[in-house]
Each structure stands twice: as structure tokens, then as C-alpha cells.
Structure 1
Amino acid sequence: MPMSFQVAIDCRDPHALADWWAETLGWQVEPQDEGFIRSMLAQGHATEADTTTHRGALVWRTGAAVVRPGADPGPGGRLYLQQVPEPKAVKNRVHLDLRPGPGEEPPTVGSLVARGATVVGEGRQGPHTWTVLQDPEGNEFCVS
């Protein structure tokens, strides 16, 4: 039986970066259960410091997820943005490669740069080419 997984990305502001990645991928930010969060607060399992408000909703401060619209978050179906205290310091050892499926248009490098990405290089292998970028927090990814 195949294992489920998510890709976790360390960042300083998980909610803002989740919004950015949701728009980039054409996915959606996974809703958080505000009732569950309030229940954890009421039972003393969490404190107000563990939460924040983002886009008018009560959410967990240290994490946000991005999922494909209408998809069950199964294998490869979820990005998890997790807050860490330190800024990114070195190149990622793992990164996302964005490739369009049949009939899909890839995001343009210009549109990604306009939204806060930075171009850091170009790559080529045989007839295949790609652009290496960084998201607004410096995490590398490629667009082919």
C-alpha cells in the first residue's frame, strides 16, 4: 500500500506563504477548523499565543497547508508551511518542480516575479529547459 506524504516548507510567515503558493499552484489554502481550535483553547490544550487571525479566521499560528481544490489530501496532495524562528540560510536540498499537465499553462516567470519570486538561474537537460526561482521567503523551486 502506498504511503501518504506532504511536503513541508520551513518559513517565517506560514499563512502569507500558503496564500502565495495556493495562488501559484492554482490550489487552495486548507481551511482550519475554528471550532476545534476554540475547543482546544477552552480545554487548556492551547493558549491564545498558539493562534492568530488570518483573513478574518482564527488559525493555528505556526502552520498552514495548501491542497488541490476538491482533492482528498493523499499522496503528493499537500504542502505544509511551518513556522520556524530562523531565516533561510542555505540552498534547499529538496525543491518543487512546477510542470503543467496536459492542457495546462505553467505560471509565467514574469507573473511569479511580479508576485514576489526571484529568478536565480536557468537549467537545461537535452531539449528540456527550466527556470530556477525562489519564493518570497527564499525557498527554491523550478518552472519548466
Structure 2
Amino acid sequence: MIKGALVLPLALAFLNGCSSLPDWIAPASTQAPAASKSAAPPRQVASVANSVDNPTQNQLMSLPKRQQAAILAEAVGHGCQGVSPYFMGIGDDGSAIWSIRCARGHAWAVSISPGPAGDTTVKRCTSFAAETHLSCFSKF
């Protein structure tokens, strides 16, 4: 699991007119400790596309697919060049769950927390499916 606290909000700011990002900002690439078993799997919510409680998700949904793919790939890191972004749904905690396929074929699940920072958690789709019993690239 990889955490990227500022990747999505800063990438969105960059696409919205900032000319450059600070030097200390880089894609998340370090391994974080495994999540606790108490985390509930995502569930479907009535307004999955635009949750007013998740400003980063709202902004990401407003972008064209190409920009969504670039931002999600930036959150993934690992040299991912995003080609297929897919919004899966909203989890119990209000996190938006996305899938992204990279040009080299790897697929990742990206969770965007509902807080103002838009913290991200990234997992390979195989790990995501094993832990949640949900498939990437499918609505829940």
C-alpha cells in the first residue's frame, strides 16, 4: 500500500494553472504499513459520482478522462502512464475509489480520502481484490 498525501490536490492545482510544483513534491513511492483488518470494504452510495464531502473527488470528476488518467498515474508512481481511469464508487468512509490501468498493463486501485487534503492510498488491483473481494474496473 502506498500513501500520497498531497499528490492529487497538487496535481489538480497544477492542471488548473500553476506553472510548477515545489521541488519537495514527488510521486508517492514508499511502502507504508499494511492497513488494519478493521477497514470496511467500499459500498455503493446514491450519489457516487459527485460526493460533496470529497472535494478532491469532485474536482477529479470534472476533468476529462485524459487528465484524470494523468493525475491518478501521478498518485500511483512506479513509472505509470495512465491510460484508463475508471471511477468505481464511494467507500463507507467517504473515500472515492478509482481504478487506473497503466500503459505497461499494470492496474491499480486508488482511494481518495474525503478530507480537504485528498490523501490517497494506492494498491495493485490484485491486492485490492484479495482484500475487498471487489474487482477493479467494476462499479460497486
TM-score between the two structures when normalised by the length of structure 1: 0.26
Larger Rg over CA atoms: 1
- Flag the structure with higher helix content: 2
TM-score between the two structures when normalised by the length of structure 2: 0.26
